A = this chain, B = another copy of it.
Amino acid sequence: MQLHLKAELFQKTGSFKVRGVFNKLLTLPAEERDRGLISISAGNFAAALAFGASVVGVQATIVMPSGAARSKVDATKSHGGEVILTDGDLLEECNALQKERGLTFVHPFDDLAVIAGHGTIGLEILDDLPEVDAVIVGVGGGGLISGIAVAIKTQRPHVKIIGVEPATADAMTQSLAQGQPVHIGHPQSIADGLAAPFAGEHTLAHVKEFVDEVVLISDDEIVEAMRRLILESKLVAEPAGSAAVGALLAGAISFPPQSKVVCVVSGGNVDPSVLKRIL
């Protein structure tokens, strides 16, 4: 096939998340925005929200799991974000702080403005490669694939949109099977960016409507994709950013000969210790 990589790892803050953040912050009523923002995140959304908030001149507080990648915590702080680390339930802690301080909650993925912002990737893919046959996207909470899928399917219904989840962090697959968002506890995967504890209401609805298939791959298959991207494509993709390529390499999904396939390389924020371990 003809494989194209959509290199979102070069975005400011190192992932696609700034797309949704800016669309949200620039469409939020000023009085809500100016109260200050709060969210939950394992990493990339945290840094993107802190950066976006600093650009529009407000404060962002992000509740992160205490096991979050050190580099992602540091990146969030470096953009002026306040980081609250917790061992408890992210959303509970976040809700309590939000009420106490009168902040405006921005959901990291289950928000239509965030989803629409991510959808600009779909529009760019159609501009750059009008003859695209399929787009493969990693799935965590589902914000990225929801935006891309709605942007593409409403214009080119024949383009296949395929999601990829780690087998050990399959909130969307379980939610699709049960027909409603499922909470799966504290999923573990090398792809921290895909280890969302639940799928969203909006994202599940988008995936149901616009995504052709969600496939599962192992952490070993993600690591193999990272190695290949580093050594052959010269790209430092984080595990979540390598999952789409991993699904192809692992044969979890295949396409007719000559297909034009886009893998979204969603981010490149990875601790040196992880890189060292996988090389």
User: Do A275 and B230 have beta carbons less than 8 Å apart?
Assistant: yes
In-complex Cβ contact of A272 among B14, B231, B235, B268 (8 A): B231
Which residue of chain B lies nearest to A271 when distances are taken between CB atoms in the complex? B231
**Chain B positions within 8 Å of A233 at CB level:** 10
- For the complex, what is the distance from the CA of A171 to the CA of B275, rounded to whole Å? 34
Tell whether A227 is near chain B: CB-to-CB under 8 Å: yes
Indicate whether A71 reaches chain B with its CB closer than 8 angstroms: yes
A273 to B227, CA, bound (A): 12
In the assembled complex, A236 has its CB within 8 A of some CB on chain B: yes
CB distance from A194 to the nearest CB of B (A): 18
Distance of A236 from chain B, by nearest CB (Å): 4
How far, in angstroms, from A9 to B14 measured CA to CA in the complex?
19
Majority-rule SS of A interface residues: helix
Question: Nearest Cβ distance between residue A153 and chain B, in whole angstroms?
Answer: 29
CB of A114 to closest CB in B, whole Å:
23
What is the interface size of chain A, counting residues whose CB is below 8 A from a CB of the partner?
Answer: 18
Task: Evaluate contact between B234 and A230: CB separation under 8 angstroms.
Answer: no
Distance in angstroms from A212 CB to nearest chain B CB is 29
Q: Give A10's nearest chain B residue, CB to CB.
A: B234
Tell whether, in the assembled complex, residue B234 and residue A14 are in contact, meaning their CB atoms are under 8 Å apart: yes
A1 interfacial by beta-carbon distance below 8 Å: no
Q: Is A99 an interface residue (CB 8 A)?
A: no
What is the CB-to-nearest-CB distance from A190 to chain B, in angstroms, rounded to a whole number?
Answer: 16
Q: Which residue of B lies closest to A234 (CB)?
A: B268
A30 interfacial by beta-carbon distance below 8 Å: no
Per-residue B-contact encoding for A237-248, CB less than 8 Å = 1, 0 else: 100000000000
Q: Which residues of B contact A227 (CB under 8 A)?
A: 272
A267's closest neighbor in chain B, by CB? B234
Residues of B within 8 A of A71 (CB): 231
CB distance from A255 to the nearest CB of B (A): 23
CB of A79 to closest CB in B, whole Å:
14
Given A234-B235, A235-B236, 8 further pairs, Cβ under 8 A: A10-B233, A71-B231, A230-B275, A231-B236, A231-B272, A234-B237, A235-B235, A276-B276
Interface CB pairs A-B, < 8 A, 15: A9-B234, A10-B233, A10-B234, A71-B231, A227-B272, A230-B236, A230-B275, A231-B236, A234-B236, A235-B235, A235-B236, A273-B279, A275-B275, A275-B279, A279-B279
